[in-house]
Structure 1
């Protein structure tokens, strides 16, 4: 049985903004320099197939920062794909900020995005034969409300779409992690806990029924986390903006019946002093690198441990 190997990277929470803009104390002095450093590093990674950016590409949903993002990413030597974060659009459609339609058009200028008929920034494409990349928009409320949840229309579309791509391995991009983490820094995320819990359970049931999931990739928490449920890996990325400026690299061996996901994250140089809580955000050893066995449809549903290296 032939086994294919793919390599890809995840970058999250760039929060690109004008150099003169006011920023939080824990952010990099220059998100632009951090993004340029990430692109330079990715260009040196051998045999990298593609890169995914899991939201909060910019900080204030402003067109100037989006154009700067596109200018910097023009230097990337491999394809890249984008998903929406809560800082990327302003649902109140205030002047000088992107709304969802503008975000979609901006993405379409960089890669083939055909939005799903959900009314949100959801799409599906195949970056490689046998691999299906699905991005889902979980952002809610007025800018930049951190809370996120998938709506029934999105879950309905996903369920129907998974039947069409039943033989492909899935990589899902959702900026807000589907499962609430005890390290969530935004207490407001718990306001609709039951709604989130129900949506997360529905999403997980769809993915478990599909039975070929490489990973569900998120950002938002600014803390690297790894959670494996019923053989499905849910990984939350370290942020590029700091205080831990890092990106994740993945290597996946796949065949029609099984696979293995290997991951580690690369720490980029950080300008300025490290906050006192830097060590906490570095994550546990198993959150920094490891490997996770993947199952195909028909495998017994069990909780699989993360094998740290």
Structure 2
């Protein structure tokens, strides 16, 4: 009887494990690609990521190129397309500058032209993977670029609306500029973060905010939200969302350094 009970309990555990949905994705940040350089950090990261198992997608969280131009962006994308998984793009402060003919509109047009099946038409967009909602929030400035991020009122209004659409889903926000500073660098702080935090306070579905920008590796929990910041290549993160369809999924952000 004990043997039968043991086998029965084991089968229940296996069934529960099979039914649980896990999700793995990769964050790559602050590549600062420069066509005149070797870009060894990016090449090493891509090689390393391609060896990982079960990666659903990768996200480049801003400062993808060092100088805003069509030529630099196209050269970066040529290298990024060597990833074995789909990838998404977040805009950083180094990526755009209207005075150099690289507005956010132009940047997004190039992405859609160069990447097959790339659907986003604007810097702010939403997509879904395994029941998890991913929201890309844009805090870059293309008119007067600078290292201080700024999530404008219209962006926060859009974010508030998007979060309200998915009250039963777990949400992960992807962005370049952190809301909770991972280090003391005033010139990198986000302008009026309290406005962003006020939006978050009105929703209970945000589980993590993934960002870069500061050049440091850090993770903090603030009001139940994991704020994960990652330095530039050759560092990257493998992020596992375990039991992704449950109310309180486990988010494990593993820091890696590609050799």
**Structure 1 length as normaliser, TM-score?**
0.72
- In structure 2, do the counterparts of structure 1 residues 239 and 248 end up closer, same or farther at CA, with 3 Å as the change threshold? same
Q: Which runs of no fewer than 5 residues in structure 1 stay unpaired? A: 21-29, 116-120, 270-309
1:10 corresponds to 2:27: yes
SS at match of 1:86: coil
- In structure 2, do the counterparts of structure 1 residues 251 and 106 end up closer, same or farther at CA, with 3 Å as the change threshold? same
**CA shift at 1:103, angstroms?**
1.1
Query: How many equivalent pairs are there?
Result: 238
Listed one character per residue, the Cα deviations across residues 20-46 of structure 1 (whole Å, up to 9, x for unaligned) are: 6xxxxxxxxx3x222121111111101
**CA shift at 1:141, angstroms?**
6.3
Instruction: Map 1:88-107; keep pairs closer than 5 Å.
Output: 88-90=95-97, 93-95=98-100, 97-107=101-111
Q: Which runs of no fewer than 5 residues in structure 2 stay unpaired? A: 1-15
Given that 1:130 and 1:167 are in contact with CA atoms closer than 8 Å, whether structure 2 keeps it comes out as no
1:201 corresponds to 2:200: no
Listed one character per residue, the Cα deviations across residues 84-117 of structure 1 (whole Å, up to 9, x for unaligned) are: 1000000xx224x4111111112223221043xx
Partner of 1:266: 256
SS at match of 1:4: coil
Instruction: Map 1:65-104; keep pairs closer than 5 Å.
Output: 65-90=72-97, 93-95=98-100, 97-104=101-108
Moved more, 257-266 or 42-51: 257-266
Instruction: Map 1:133-148; keep pairs closer than 5 Å.
Output: 133-140=134-141, 142=143, 144-148=145-149
**CA shift at 1:155, angstroms?**
1.2
**Within 2, Cα distance between the matches of 1:174 and 1:148?**
10
Where relative contact order (Cα < 8 A, 6+ residues apart) is larger, the structure is 2
Instruction: Map 1:175-190; keep pairs closer than 5 Å.
Output: 175-184=176-185, 187-189=186-188
**Within 2, Cα distance between the matches of 1:42 and 1:122?**
26
SS at match of 1:94: helix
Selected match of 1:228 from 209, 221, 229: 221
**CA shift at 1:217, angstroms?**
0.6
SS at match of 2:95: coil
**CA shift at 1:233, angstroms?**
0.3
**Within 1, Cα distance between the matches of 2:225 and 2:154?**
23
Find the structure with the greater CA-based Rg. Answer: 2
Listed one character per residue, the Cα deviations across residues 199-255 of structure 1 (whole Å, up to 9, x for unaligned) are: 23224314xx1x233420110000011110122101110211xxxx31011111123
**Within 1, Cα distance between the matches of 2:143 and 2:121?**
25
**Within 1, Cα distance between the matches of 2:143 and 2:179?**
20
Give the superposed CA RMSD: 2.0
Partner of 2:7: none
**CA shift at 1:129, angstroms?**
3.3
**CA shift at 1:181, angstroms?**
4.0
**CA shift at 1:189, angstroms?**
4.1
**CA shift at 1:130, angstroms?**
0.8
Given that 1:178 and 1:196 are in contact with CA atoms closer than 8 Å, whether structure 2 keeps it comes out as no
Return the structure number with greater helix share.
2
